[in-house]
Structure 1
Amino acid sequence: MIRGVSQLQTLLPRESLLWIFAAQLVVLLPHFAHLPVWLVGAWCAAVYWRYQVFLGRREMPGKLIKLLAVSLAVAGLALTYRRWFALEPMVALLALSFTLKNIELASRRDALLSLLLAYFLAATLFVFEQTIPYAVYGIFCVVVITAALAAQQGRASARPKRALGLSARLLAQAVPVMLLLFVVMPRLGPLWAVPQNSSKASTGISDSMSPGDFSQLSKSAKPVLRIAFDGALPPPEQRYWRGLVYTHFDGRRWSEPDAGVYRWGRSNRAPGGDGSERPLPAVGPRYRYQVIMEPSQNPWLFALAWPHSETRGVRETDDDTLVYRSPVSARLAYAVHSWPRESIARAQSLNPLEQRRHLQLPASGNPRARQWAEARRREGMSAEEISAALLARYNRDFTYTLRPPELGRDTVDEFLFSTREGFCEHFASSYVFTMRAAGVPARVVAGYQGGEWVAQEEYLLVRQYDAHAWAEIWLPERGWVRVDPTAAVSPERIRDGLQSAAAEEFMQDALLPLHKFAFVSRLRLQWDMINYRWYQAVVRFDHERQQGLLQRLLGEVSPLRIALFLGVPILVALLLLLAWLNLSSRGPVLPPASRAYLRFCHRMARAGLPRKPGEAPGDYASRIEREMPRLGPMVRRITVAYEKAAYSDDESAEKQLRKLLRSFWPLRLLR
């Protein structure tokens, strides 16, 4: 019995507990999307147990129960995650510590520790996302946590309006310091890197392609790339954003067997088809642009042909593509230079290994396509002539559609000689197969084509529905040449985009066809521009941008000028604070009810009936009733509300007093 009494004496009051639980829920809520379900259940169970302790129905758990809870939780993490040293397990471990703290939440010290952990967990939100909604929600989390800290000071401070008001004032006072530190604090890179959990689903273009894959991507309007050009903008027919090259075909699916082992090119060098390298020209026609790529959980990047990037972590491959050092798990910005193909010197032949790689076909299957290709070769046609004949066939007999019919075993034969309806992957796949069957090295290229030009911010917006597949063939005198069979069937797809080429089928499966409403499209575009500005101004505020801003503000970045830039605002703020403290210390701070009644007295004085020194509120009200009978009922109600608020600490009376004073203006009432 003595033990139970001692425990009850150390328990936190109800208001403190509720504020702690509210702060925990607000912080954990966005993490519920990627935390395991059992951890969410563990938090609910810990909160329930702790509240039962407060009600006196249970005791605080002993050492054995705590040890069992920790052991089960750690075992759950070990079974849930394949590897520990990754981002999600680290956040889950922090959330787990945060959760288990509830079963020993007994004193004010435990409460403060739990809320300090909440600040750290709130900061982990920005490890996953740095968007505007997350930033707004992060600020909301900080407001609630700070209010919960204020609520630990006593019952009066735990009132929601008072706690949230104090939190908002404290954080508002910290905003200037935050902005100042954001501008001047050194922008250091991470001291260590924690990889993302590899089990997280990837988005966008995958490492293989089969009929129907790209038509599925056409149902999504999510942004993929935002591209700002430094100089000329390529025409629509040149906006081919290369990402992957597929060389292996198993009869249905195109893939790249060595997708995980990239053949790197060298800096400032262009790979040749025979394995040699060609120097990239230092001058001449080229496109310079900055790409902001949305997270895809894949390492491949997207750029125009013959790309070169000096962004840290970005490498070029022998397949004329770019890859990042790790899967792209957050927005990534990289700068690229691309040269037109005709400006690059090329090898005149493929080496034997590359020749076999780009002529590979299954041993059997699609006999009609093989026969057609062999017939063209026996006729003595060159590679360009065979290509032109095949493209003419597409142009004459085929239909471009987002709803192609399903294909069976011999996908190429069924498409070329039966269905004749398809999306870009059908045309690219059948074209490359047929050209290989004719003895012409060919490959499938996957990426995005086109994009919407946002004139207000001057960037090109590429969405998921811009996903595209095309082909490249090797010509000895020209090297790799892009051939887009889709352009032979639907040139408006390349010139004007998918929405124009397939207007009747575009986004037909969407629950809400918002693209049909012009004002909704404008709103979406405005929101994307806001996100673009946010990323450019805040998320990408790196060391280089910081130095440029400081040079514009200070003229020269030196320790003395930075010290003055920091010191002068801080000194001014301290002087203002001292002046305010000096003024506020001259007299006692009146309670809210007394301040409200003082306003009432000032208004009556302006009406010609001031309060006498030492006159009690009731006597003053009686005198007003005698001398100004029209004001008597209102004055009596104000006086009664004031006496209840001042002497009985009645919060409802204080609210009533403020409400009455809002409509009490003696000079107006006496007219």
Structure 2
Amino acid sequence: MARSKELLPRESLLWIFAAQFVALLPHFARLPLWIVCAWAFAIYWRLEVYRGRRDLPGRLVKLLAITLAVAGLALSYRRWFALEPMVALLAVSFTLKNLELVSRRDAFLSLLLAYFVAATLFVYEQTIPYAFYGVLCALVITAALAAQSGSFSARPRRALGLSAKLLVQAAPLMLLLFIVMPRLGPLWAVPQDASGARTGVSDSMAPGDFTRLSKSDSPVLRISFDGPVPPPEQRYWRGLVYSHFDGRRWSQGFSVDPRQGAEVEWNSRQQRLPEVGPRYRYQVIQEASNAPWLFAMARPLSDTRGVGETADDRLVKKTPVHSRFAYEVRTWPRETLTDAPVLGNAERRRNLQLPATGNARTRAWAAEQRAAGLGAEEISRRLLNFYNRSFVYTLNPPALGADSVDEFLFDSQQGFCEHFAGSYVFAMRAAGVPARVVAGYQGGEWVEQEAYLLVREYDAHAWAEIWVPGRGWQRVDPTAAVSPERIRDGLQSAAEEEFMQDALLPLHRISVFNQLRLQWDMINYRWYRAVISFDSDRQQNLLRRLLGEVSLARLALFVGAAIAAGLAGALLWLWFISRRTRPPVAIRLYQKFCQRMARAGMVRRPGEAPRDFARRVREEKPQLAEVTERITRAFEKAAYCEDPAAEQQLRRLLRRPLTRYRTRKV
């Protein structure tokens, strides 16, 4: 049994539950339902104990609860060393600890767990709303700690006020540490659930996939350029290459996907690139995708740590992109490269692969072109002219059957980008021309105020590449042959009537809403560049601007000066506050009179009113009664009636010492 001075104050119990609630609230959607229900039941039980209706559970009940919790975790999660089960373990710790909240030590341990749970929020998201919510969590948890002192400290205004003061006082030190502390990488990595990607471009493509992406306006990429900005028709942000077709769905195929053994060059392509500088230099901020592929223009090179280049001109990351990720890119247009392109036999076979049967009409058309002895570029030109004459670009294409390519090319002739790219590559392969589908994003909205390109989910796009002897892989976009405004002006302009037509509220058609949305994205962009992406390079650049040269001596001097300035500011503020809180002049003068009376043997009692004090002086010190009455009357007029003449009279009376009043009557 805990000693009485260590027992948990009853008034602080609700604060502990409030701290647990705010820390767990964002995780409720991720946690198994049984954990949320068990946590709520544990709180109910502890409140019943607080009311005296139940007893704390015994050892047997606690052992049973632990056994059930461990079994539930084992059944809910397939692997233990991952972020989700670790957060669940902390939530279970809350639940079990609530069954034995007795002492201050138990409360301190529970609130310490709450700080850890609140910190896990930033593993999932680093956005501004999450940052504000993290501050709220810190405020409530710190208030719960302050409430452990007892009934007065547990009052909401008192606890929250003390918590806010502590956080405000800690903010300058936090900012200083943010600037000067070395930006170390994580000491360990916790795997996250990669079952569902957040960006829509996946590792395979079938008719209708990209059509669904056109219904989302979520940001995907933010791209800032160091130098010239590519024109709209060159803004192709490639991320995946589909080389395998099973008759319905295009996929990366073996030896193309780096997760299945494809070769990746980690920052080693520099020696094979021309000495002439790249045409474009830019930084990409990519939203979480839970996948390793990154997005850049063709023939990219990145010096960002952990980013590599594949043989088919893509960028990949060693680990999946679980949160916003910034990487630097340099791009060389293919026509500027002098190395002679060679297509290996294995790559040729991979990019000529087709199912054994299916889509007979397309195969027959391709056979006619091949029999005519036409080259790759002439076959491509004829196919693009066919698209331009007869096809319609639409966000609502009809469904296709088993022979999807034949039905699209010769029957419906209505489709979205994946229909055009997939049918084009199929026809070119059937004609003996190596071809592949490329997926990523095309275009983007230029944000003039911050000078960056904003690429959204509905900018997802699929196009094609064909192999031309002597020139290598060349980009061909069949969609541009049908709807050139899609490439030049974006999806919203190309399909204005169909764009976001399923939205509950057509807010995209309201200019004010679009401006507000753009302003909010600019705020997020500044937040990420200034705070989230403040890595070691940015830190060194900032310290050089502040110190001139980054050395241990200058850094220590900077930290010392900042701490000294902070202490001086705190002392100045305390002095200013003390000056502002000084009592009025009349009260200070009366206090001076009371000090003189104390030296004369008449001590004013605590809480004794001036009139009562004067009555007691008349009884105990009659020789001082008259002056005490005069000073008391003058004080009451000066303090309560704000009479300047009474204040001046009080000053005159206090100029004469009390000894003069003892010898003669006034």
The reply to whether TM is greater than 0.5 is: yes
1:227/1:292 contact within 8 Å kept: yes
Change (3 A) 1:603 1:575: closer
Task: Name the CA distance, whole Å, in 2 between partners of 1:498 and 1:149.
Answer: 53
In the TM superposition, residue 570 of structure 1 has moved relative to its aligned partner by: 2.3
Task: Name the CA distance, whole Å, in 1 between partners of 2:93 and 2:446.
Answer: 48
Change (3 A) 1:350 1:63: same
Secondary structure at the residue paired with 2:437? strand
Secondary structure at the residue paired with 1:158? coil
Q: What residue in structure 2 maps to residue 320 of structure 1?
A: 313
**Seq. identity, %:** 67
Q: Deviations over 1:286-321 (max 9, x none)?
A: 211111000011111111000111211111111111
Unpaired runs of at least 5, structure 1:
271-276, 606-611, 621-660
Q: Does 1:548 align with 2:537?
A: no
Larger Rg: 2
Q: Deviations over 1:648-671 (max 9, x none)?
A: xxxxxxxxxxxxx9xx99689xxx
Q: What residue in structure 1 maps to residue 248 of structure 2?
A: 252
In the TM superposition, residue 375 of structure 1 has moved relative to its aligned partner by: 1.2
Q: What residue in structure 1 maps to residue 561 of structure 2?
A: 568
Change (3 A) 1:446 1:580: closer
Aligned-residue RMSD, C-alpha: 2.9
Q: What residue in structure 1 maps to residue 661 of structure 2?
A: none
Unpaired runs of at least 5, structure 2:
591-596, 598-602, 613-638, 645-666
Q: 1:163 aligns with which of 139, 145, 159?
A: 159
Q: What residue in structure 2 maps to residue 386 of structure 1?
A: 379
Q: What residue in structure 2 maps to residue 436 of structure 1?
A: 429
Q: What residue in structure 1 maps to residue 109 of structure 2?
A: 113
Task: Name the CA distance, whole Å, in 2 between partners of 1:667 and 1:475.
Answer: 101
Between 1:206-215 and 1:67-76, the stretch displaced more is: 67-76
1:229-628 map, 5 Å: 229-258=225-254, 259=257, 260-266=259-265, 279-574=272-567
Change (3 A) 1:234 1:546: same
Secondary structure at the residue paired with 1:472? strand
In the TM superposition, residue 349 of structure 1 has moved relative to its aligned partner by: 4.3
1:265/1:317 contact within 8 Å kept: yes
1:129-144 map, 5 Å: 129-144=125-140
In the TM superposition, residue 80 of structure 1 has moved relative to its aligned partner by: 1.1
Q: Deviations over 1:324-372 (max 9, x none)?
A: 1111100011111111010123545422211111111111111111111
In the TM superposition, residue 502 of structure 1 has moved relative to its aligned partner by: 0.4
Secondary structure at the residue paired with 1:156? coil
TM-score, scaled relative to structure 2 = 0.85
TM-score, scaled relative to structure 1 = 0.85
In the TM superposition, residue 14 of structure 1 has moved relative to its aligned partner by: 3.5
Secondary structure at the residue paired with 1:157? coil
Paired residue type of 2:522 = M
In the TM superposition, residue 520 of structure 1 has moved relative to its aligned partner by: 0.6
Q: Does 1:191 align with 2:161?
A: no
Task: Name the CA distance, whole Å, in 2 between partners of 1:59 and 1:537.
Answer: 53
In the TM superposition, residue 542 of structure 1 has moved relative to its aligned partner by: 1.2
Q: What residue in structure 2 maps to residue 652 of structure 1?
A: none
Change (3 A) 1:350 1:569: closer
In the TM superposition, residue 380 of structure 1 has moved relative to its aligned partner by: 2.2
Task: Name the CA distance, whole Å, in 2 between partners of 1:201 and 1:485.
Answer: 27
Task: Name the CA distance, whole Å, in 1 between partners of 2:568 and 2:271.
Answer: 66
Secondary structure at the residue paired with 2:389? helix
Secondary structure at the residue paired with 1:83? coil
Task: Name the CA distance, whole Å, in 1 between partners of 2:425 and 2:643.
Answer: 91
Task: Name the CA distance, whole Å, in 2 between partners of 1:152 and 1:8.
Answer: 14
Task: Name the CA distance, whole Å, in 2 between partners of 1:430 and 1:210.
Answer: 11
Task: Name the CA distance, whole Å, in 2 between partners of 1:554 and 1:166.
Answer: 36
Q: What residue in structure 1 maps to residue 653 of structure 2?
A: none
Paired residue type of 1:492 = E
Q: What residue in structure 2 maps to residue 102 of structure 1?
A: 98
2:192/2:322 contact within 8 Å kept: yes
Change (3 A) 1:451 1:603: farther
Q: Does 1:42 align with 2:38?
A: yes
Q: 2:141 aligns with which of 145, 153, 156?
A: 145
Q: 1:23 aligns with which of 4, 19, 23?
A: 19
Task: Name the CA distance, whole Å, in 2 between partners of 1:180 and 1:278.
Answer: 41
Task: Name the CA distance, whole Å, in 2 between partners of 1:667 and 1:242.
Answer: 82
Change (3 A) 1:253 1:278: farther
Task: Name the CA distance, whole Å, in 2 between partners of 1:576 and 1:225.
Answer: 43
Q: What residue in structure 1 maps to residue 85 of structure 2?
A: 89
In the TM superposition, residue 466 of structure 1 has moved relative to its aligned partner by: 0.2
